[in-house]
Amino acid sequence: MSKPLIEVNHLSKFFNLGNNNILKAVNDLNFSIEQGETVGVVGESGCGKSTAGRTMMRLYEPTEGEVLFNGKNIYSMRGSELKQLRRDMQMIFQDPYASLNPRMTVMDIIGESLDVHKLVSSRKERKKRVEQLLDLVNLNAAHASRYPHEFSGGQRQRIGIARALAVNPKFIIADEPISALDVSIQAQVVNLLQDLQRDMGLTYLFIAHDLSMVKHISDRVAVMYLGKIVELARSEDLYSDPRHPYTRALMSAIPIPDPDVEQTRERIVLSGDLPSPIHLPTGCPFHTRCPIATDKCKVDAPKLLEVKDKHFAACHYA
């Protein structure tokens, strides 16, 4: 087998808040992403999904661990090697309103990276390339002279996607790219991402909390809780046979478009609130809310182990 495009090994990102308070946003992540694959990351707000993505992009420096891109540790890259990495790895941000400079035209927003990486040699070539990218995301070439405030949320996110594609990346981290959009627009953006992946051979890390959308786009799904991956499996396996009690609770919250099934199925409601990532529980991080927790769970932290073929769970009773 060929090596994965992305390998994440023991990655942690802690933030020092002062007064001996350490926020453990990402805590010992381990997973890999194959070339051309989409790995979805789900979990409730504050579980560390976005911080994991930003640390993998090297927007944050890690506290511990490494991320290998084509076998090379990205945190040891400098100079021209780091600049090439910035081309190979791109990000689509969550908020299409905050991620585009309101003082720049669409031409300059998309064209800026072409200039930085010297991918065009003239203004004419730059204009042609920007128009090609707009066409790729189903926007009109005439939109290039406009400013972000003249567009809807869905159109702005398409501009963000065009900007990410401008440098011909191999790997894109999509950080909740549809959560700020209307439901009617969400499917259009996800379908666009899938079409682009098929046509350009892209690899995605797709961060979201919409479980049904993640199932639709992902080959494999990682479930995060308090900075850790608690379950990782192929998309179909995870949704049909969840092994971690937290994943089961998440799955039970997905609405089913069949009134008879919806009325009779069991809804798992977790008691208590999400613990603080500053004061993590001992043992299994989920034991304070888990319906099947025992004394062992309070002291012994479970490892992420393979419970069946390519299906991993961090639970003593998986």
For residue 249, being part of any structural domain is answered with: no
- The answer as to whether 235 is a domain residue is no
* DSSP H stretches of helix in the chain: 49-56, 79-88, 106-116, 123-136, 153-165, 183-200, 211-217, 235-240, 245-252, 259-264, 295-299
Residue whose entry in the numeric block shows the structure tokens 């190979």:
88
Among 63-77, 173-187, 271-285, top mean pLDDT goes to 63-77
**How many domains is the chain built from?**
1
Averaged pLDDT for residues 119-146 = 94
Q: How far apart are the first and last CA of the chain?
A: 28
Summarised one tens digit per residue, pLDDT across range 280-317 is: 999 999 999 998 999 999 999 999 999 999 999 999 99
Element (H, E) at 233: strand 228-234
> Domain for residue 41, yes or no?
yes
Q: Two tokens at 23?
A: 């926020």
Segment 2-18 shows an average pLDDT of: 93
pLDDT-based confidence at residue 261 (cuts at 50, 70, 90):
low
Question: Is pLDDT of 1 > 60?
Answer: no
Q: Is the pLDDT of residue 7 over 90?
A: yes
Q: Which pLDDT does position 284 carry in this prediction? A: 93
**For the chain, what percent of residues have pLDDT higher than 90?**
74
Report the percent of the chain where pLDDT is more than 70: 97
Q: Does residue 274 sit within a domain?
A: no
Q: Which CA distances in Å does 13 have to 56, 61, 66, 285?
A: 10, 8, 11, 17
Report the alpha-carbon distance of residue 193 to residue 106 in Å, rounded.
20
Bridge partners of residue 224, in order along the sequence: 229
pLDDT single digits (tens) 27-60: 999 999 999 999 999 998 889 999 999 999 999 9
Collapse the DSSP code of 18 into the 3-class scheme (helix H, G, I; strand E, B; otherwise coil) and give the result. coil
Tell whether 175 is covered by a domain. Answer: yes
What average pLDDT does range 90-105 have in this prediction?
Answer: 91
Per-residue confidence at 18, pLDDT binned at 50, 70, 90? confident
Give the contacts of 36 (CB within 8 A, at least 6 positions apart).
197, 201, 202, 203
The answer for residues whose C-beta is within 8 angstroms of residue 67's C-beta and 6 or more apart is 6, 7, 8, 9, 11, 55, 56, 58, 73, 74, 75
Average pLDDT over residues 194-201: 93
* Cβ(314)–Cβ(228) below 8 Å: yes
pLDDT digits (tens, 9 = 90+) for 73-96: 999 999 999 999 999 999 999 888
Supply the CATH number for residue 21's domain. Answer: 3.40.50.300
pLDDT-derived band at 117 (thresholds 50, 70, 90) equals very high
297 is a domain residue: no
- Packing angle of the helix pair 153-165, 183-200 (nearest 10 deg): 20
Q: What is the rounded CA–CA span in Å between residue 76 and residue 54?
A: 16
Name the one residue in this structure whose structure tokens are 């002279």.
Answer: 145
Any idea which of 52-61, 94-103, 113-122, 266-275 has the lowest mean pLDDT?
A: 266-275
Q: Is 90 exceeded by the pLDDT of residue 187?
A: no
150 part of a folded domain:
yes
| Structural domain contains residue 298 | no
Q: Which domain range does residue 34 map to? A: 6-218
**How much is the pLDDT for 50?**
93
